[in-house]
Amino acid sequence: MTAKYYTQFVLTDAEYQGGNEFCGVVELSQPMAQDSDKRDIEAILARDLDLSQSAVRLVSWSRLH
């Protein structure tokens, strides 16, 4: 079962200076656990964008129904 989330995040990598805030819908193959940590979500975004986890800073994250 997939789960969709609306997310806002900032890329802190030097390559994205000036245009580094992004928002949109992220679809995961399964829902995140209720007790997921912010770092877990940043890790998923970083992996999907082929960046290091430290290059992604989560601003907001909410599940769409």
pLDDT per position as a tens digit, 1-13: 788 999 999 998 7
Q: How high is the pLDDT of residue 60?
A: 92
Tokens of 61: 């994250």
pLDDT above 90: residue 49: no
Q: How high is the pLDDT of residue 16?
A: 66
Q: Domain of 23: which CATH number?
A: 3.10.20
Number of domains into which the chain is organized: 1
Average pLDDT over the chain, rounded to an integer: 86
- Domain range spanning residue 8? 3-63
Contact 62, 6 (CB under 8 A): yes
Q: How high is the pLDDT of residue 38?
A: 85
Eight-state DSSP code of residue 10: E
Sheet holding 21-28, edge to edge: 21-28, 3-11, 56-63
Global confidence as pTM: 0.78
Element (H, E) at 43: helix 38-48
Tokens of 25: 């819908």
Q: Would you give the distance in Å from CA 52 to the centre of its chain?
A: 12
